[in-house]
Chains A and B, each alone.
Chain A
């Protein structure tokens, strides 16, 4: 019984710690020119027709900064601290595709000609692409198709 109590205490402490981290991940509102140069260029190049709504900065795990850019039509871009895009989310609406690897675009055009890309996420080793028919595809960092994520 005593041992169980220790486990419980341990779990409780860890939970508290994580809650603390979450609380610490606070958001601040930024102006466009406060974003890293890379991110500003990215927006002006690929999203020039979009209406900006709000830009926020998040501090995750005490020191890693993240930026989130929201547009009027609820499209969202996430940048890392360097200003590289991490995720573009169109909320079931097609997103501009100028920054997407041609291999990925090509694969989708050839295999799923009736669909459009609504979301793309860049992970360490792969890309995750969401289509408007709810299909989720995975590509490696060179744009080679891996699998359908179902």
Chain B
């Protein structure tokens, strides 16, 4: 089914209905008036006929009227006596007198007799004026028809527009509503009961959803928090075990595997905790961050930490990127972006970090385009990265969402490019 706007939909049917109904109304009105006009003429013709016949019985001179004259009638004597005395009234053209012009007229024709002599009587009434009247009436009706149709459409347009305004306001509000930004659903006040009800229901729904959303967010945060202690205990005990000299080499190897797994688990838990903290707004402080020195220090730390991955990091500075935000978050943001590039790069490749006044580009070589829709989702991993937690970019996006003036985009041009931009 084809989609149409509410207005278009209602107009189409309204217009068709109005056009047809008013046309039928106008036509029947016109027809009734015509009938009425002719009825009046016919009645007066009948009266004239009766008068003429009555007068003819007294004054036989009248019977000699052989042509239409001042009296608008004509009498023709008829031979024989086999006639019916019906009255016929019809519209015709009459040739009046010697003028030779034809006029539209209503004609009454009948046959009457005086004694045994039959006569045909024809009486007419000019309908010139009536025809003009009917013509004017038709013209007025046409003008009226269009003005009524146009008025109705216009009135409806404005009424519909006014009535639907709250609806479009609610729609607009819903479009910008995000569940993770609490209490941004503001009520729309309207004089229409249904829309108010809709608004109230929508507001209630957002409140319920926000409650559930917050509850789940808190749950993840709490769970991560509670897991922290047992995880540190486990890793501490494993470290102690590894220092024990009495264990055999094969057991030590297994213990090392366990240690690596626990290490990953700890990282994961830490990331989850960070994610929960960021989204519950636990980093409110802001200050102007100079990203250039920040990037330098992070790169230094990373290369020290991850010597086994010998991807070379190259920093190109075309400008100073400064932005006012939380210091810790800025660190996490840049760290995660660069770490993501490092973990997903082959050995002996070059990672380029390009800093400009309004944007930072982090490029690392890669053979395949990643799914832009999925890349910032939690636990999205492409198969090769065993060591990553799958939360790094998700944290990046959560931080970006806290600052509407920032945006992050992924592009693929023979290499992966993450672009951090200031919105203008």
Contact = CB atoms under 8 A, between A and B. Distances in A.
Interface string B76-120: 101000111010111111000000000000000101000000001
Contact of B78 (A113, A134, A148): A113
Interface string A99-138: 0000000000111111000000000000000000111000
A110 B91 contact: no
A49 interface: no
A150 B83 contact: no
A interface residue count range (under 10 / 10 to 19 / 20 to 34 / 35 or more): 10 to 19
A114 B88 CA distance: 14
A109 B109 CA distance: 14
B90 A113 contact: no
Nearest to B87: A111
B92 A113 contact: no
| Interface of chain B, main secondary structure | strand
Contacts of B90: 135, 148, 150
Nearest to A112: B109
A113 B88 contact: no
Contacts of A134: 92-93
Contact of A110 (B76, B84, B92, B109): B84
B interface residue count range (under 10 / 10 to 19 / 20 to 34 / 35 or more): 10 to 19
Interface string B41-57: 00000000000000000
Contacts of A135: 90, 92
A111 B83 contact: yes
Contacts of A111: 83-84, 86, 88, 111
Contacts of B92: 133-135, 150
Contacts of A112: 88, 109
Contacts of A110: 82-84
Contacts of B91: 150
A109 B118 CA distance: 13
A133 B120 CA distance: 14
B91 to A, nearest CB: 4
B76 to A, nearest CB: 6
B83 A113 contact: yes
Contacts of A150: 90-92
A105 to B, nearest CB: 12
A114 B119 CA distance: 11
A134 B84 CA distance: 21
B37 to A, nearest CB: 14
Nearest to B84: A110
A114 B82 contact: no
Nearest to A110: B84
Q: Which of B86, B90, B93, B120 has most A Cβ within 10 Å?
A: B90
A22 to B, nearest CB: 31
Nearest to B80: A113
B63 to A, nearest CB: 15
B105 to A, nearest CB: 11
A-B interface, 6 closest residue pairs, ranked by CB to CB distance from nearest: A150-B91, A148-B90, A150-B90, A110-B84, A110-B83, A113-B78
11 contacts: A109-B82, A110-B82, A110-B83, A111-B84, A111-B86, A111-B88, A111-B111, A113-B83, A113-B111, A113-B120, A134-B92
Given A112-B109, A113-B120, A134-B92, 9 more contacts: A110-B83, A110-B84, A111-B84, A111-B86, A113-B78, A113-B83, A114-B76, A133-B92, A150-B91
